[in-house]
């Protein structure tokens, strides 16, 4: 790592990922996603231009706000997770994180991207894929896609600085949030097709 202090945002990011898995309260989940975006921003702002990093952060936060408004209107009931489910989720996530820790150094060298960025990106991608694999709730799926794409963008945008690509990726992020919130609203709407 270029700066050992970066271990701190990475630890916070990992903790936020674990927290998302153990809670079922949508408010706490959204706050944890917010923490993920801010932690990643702290890392990328050291390597990319501040404005470019800020664009990524603002796009992510805006998508969370769009999702949050819809979830706020419709989701109220929280189901409690059973202990065995929690244990399974934690063990699976830890295994993914261990796998990422083993791969990160070689991938960082291969792509010539800073270790901190690759580690954060792989943690998010691993978390996103696992979340997509185990959840059936639409809002969690859309949040997982958002975080998966954000993890991918951390790696991709480090090398591809084209304005059009990054602009289109921001459009995709916002569209995912919009469609996610549309799906939530649609579920609770009355009306005929």
Partner 1 sequence: MSTPVIYIVFPFVLSLLLYFLQKRTRLIIAIGITASILLMLFAFLQNFGAVWKIGPISIEIKTTLAIFGRSFTLGNQDKFFLAFVYFFAALWFGGTHIAQISSRFIPFGFAIIAVLTAALAVEPFLYSAILVEIAILVSIPLLLTPGNPPGRGVLRFIVYQSLAMPLILFGGWLLGGIQASPSDTARLLQAVLFLGIGFALWLAIFPFQSWIPQLTMDIHPFVSGFILGMFPIVTMLIMLDFISGLVWLRESQYLQPVLTLVGTIMVVSTGVWAAIEKDGRRLLGYAVLLESGLAILAVSLQSQISVMTLFVSFFPRMAALALMALSLSIFINNGTIPDMYHLSGMIRKFPFASSGLIVSLLSVVGFPLLGAFPVRLALLEQLAVLNPIIAVWVLLGLVTFLYSVLRLLMQISKPESEGWLRGETIGQIIFLVIGILVLISIGVFPNFFSGQISSLFLNLPILR
| Interface with partner 1 (CB under 8 A) | 132, 136, 138, 141, 145, 148-149, 152, 155-156, 159-160, 163-165, 167-169, 171-172, 175-176, 179, 182-183, 186-193
Overall size of the chain counted in residues: 193
Minimum CB separation of residue 186 from partner 1 in Å reads 5
Minimum CB separation of residue 190 from partner 1 in Å reads 5
For residues 115 and 141, which CB has a smaller minimum distance to partner 1 in the complex? 141
Residue-wise DSSP of the chain: ---GGGHHHHHHHHHHHHHHHH---HHHHHHHHHHHHHHHHHHHTTTS-HHHHHHHHHHHHHHHHHHHHHHHHH----PPPPHHHHHHHHHHHHHHHHHHHHHHHHHHHHHT--HHHHHHHHHHHHHHHHHHHH---HHHHHHHHHHHHHHHHHHHHHH---HHHHHHHHHHHHHHHHHHHHHHHHHH-----
166, 157 contact by CB (below 8 A): yes
Minimum CB separation of residue 129 from partner 1 in Å reads 8
Minimum CB separation of residue 168 from partner 1 in Å reads 4
Minimum CB separation of residue 87 from partner 1 in Å reads 25
Cα separation, 125 vs 152, whole angstroms: 7
For residues 6 and 128, which CB has a smaller minimum distance to partner 1 in the complex? 128
């Amino acid at each position: 790592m270029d700066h050992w202090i970066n271990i701190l945002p990475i630890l916070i990011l990992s903790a936020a990922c674990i927290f998302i898995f153990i809670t079922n309260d949508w408010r706490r989940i959204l706050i944890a996603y917010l923490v993920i975006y801010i932690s990643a921003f702290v890392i990328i702002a050291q390597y990319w231009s501040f404005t470019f990093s800020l664009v990524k952060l603002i796009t992510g936060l805006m998508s969370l706000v769009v999702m949050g408004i819809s979830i706020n209107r419709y989701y109220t009931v929280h189901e409690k997770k059973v202990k065995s489910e929690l244990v399974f989720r934690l063990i699976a996530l830890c295994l993914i994180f261990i796998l990422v820790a083993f791969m990160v150094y070689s991938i960082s060298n291969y792509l010539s991207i800073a270790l901190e960025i690759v580690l954060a990106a792989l943690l998010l991608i691993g978390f996103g894929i696992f979340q997509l694999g185990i959840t059936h709730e639409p809002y969690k799926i859309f949040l997982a896609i958002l975080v998966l794409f954000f993890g991918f963008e951390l790696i991709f945008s480090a090398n591809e600085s084209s304005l059009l690509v990054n602009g289109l990726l921001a459009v995709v992020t916002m569209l995912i949030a919009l469609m996610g919130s549309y799906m939530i609203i649609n579920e609770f709407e009355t009306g005929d097709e």
